[in-house]
Structure 1
Amino acid sequence: MMSPDYATQVEAVIATLKQDLPTLFKQDITYDIYTQDIEFIDPVNRFKGKLSYQIIFWTLRFHGQLFFTELYFDLHEVQQTAFDVITAHWTVRGTLRLPWKPQLYFNGYSTYQLTPEGLIYYHQDTWDRSPQAILKQFISW
């Protein structure tokens, strides 16, 4: 049975993700919903620890502003899909700063696993295409 405190914490985590994710390329996210030893995995990265997690979001913002004229993280849905799992479905799209203005576009989902206290200790991103296929979008004329 879910405790009221846990249910309230999960609702707060979902609300924070809904607030943070759409603007992650423009401003920093809220880190108090994550454990100190948060583990992150996506098709090109794997690391553990809140400092590394903060660095990946800083890097996304830095490279996003440096290499793109437009870059968006379209959040479609965030929901609790199991007692200790939250899933977010999203699309990343943007325009690269090149004369032919190549478009970046891919869909994905994030799976967040929660501790018994309702903090995120594991975040895995899955993309709808390979990193190589995403990079090929940059060189297409």
Structure 2
Amino acid sequence: MSIIETIEADYQKFPANQSYNIYAEDVYFKDPLTEFQGIKRYQSMINFISTWFKDINLELHSIKQIENTIHTEWTLNWTTPLPWQPRISIPGWSELKINTDQKIISHIDYWHCSRWEVLKQHFSL
């Protein structure tokens, strides 16, 4: 399976059974909330998402590779475990840099909305 096919499959089943073997041991990750390095930290972040949030859906809109960069467009949705069960939606994109071994060495997520807009979704009715 190609790295593109693996990423597509991972988006469909996110956050369950992710293909961590496509990431370098020292992978760099950044999104609007956090920044770190290392596959163990990446696995911990995915585990936190799957443990804390409910009804998670990561919809892949597009994926393309240009040289050593894979670009994905997506929307992440989940239900936050608050008494009123707000449904959260974050549209965004990722830039994944791959090395010559076809391992992801950098995964940077960008959002089409601000952190404030995401926070407000938790309190709007």
Provide TM-score, normalisation by structure 1: 0.81
d(CA) in 2 for partners of 1:114, 1:63: 30
1:86 matched residue in structure 2 = 70
1:43/1:131 contact within 8 Å kept: yes
Whose Rg is larger?
1
1:40/1:47 contact within 8 Å kept: yes
d(CA) in 2 for partners of 1:23, 1:89: 16
RMSD (Å), alpha carbons: 1.6
The one-letter amino acid of 2:59's match is D
User: Greater shift after overlay, 87-96 or 97-106?
Assistant: 97-106
The share of aligned pairs that are identical, in percent, is 29
SS at match of 1:134: helix
Structure 2 unaligned runs (5+)?
Answer: none
2:14/2:56 contact within 8 Å kept: no
d(CA) in 2 for partners of 1:89, 1:34: 19
Higher helix share: 1
2:10 matched residue in structure 1 = 20
The one-letter amino acid of 2:12's match is P
d(CA) in 2 for partners of 1:117, 1:100: 46
Aligned length: 125
d(CA) in 2 for partners of 1:47, 1:105: 23
Structure 1 unaligned runs (5+)?
Answer: 1-10
List aligned pairs for 1:85-104, cutoff 5 A: 85-104=69-88
1:52 matched residue in structure 2 = 41
SS at match of 1:139: coil
1:124 matched residue in structure 2 = 108
Provide TM-score, normalisation by structure 2: 0.91
1:140 matched residue in structure 2 = 124
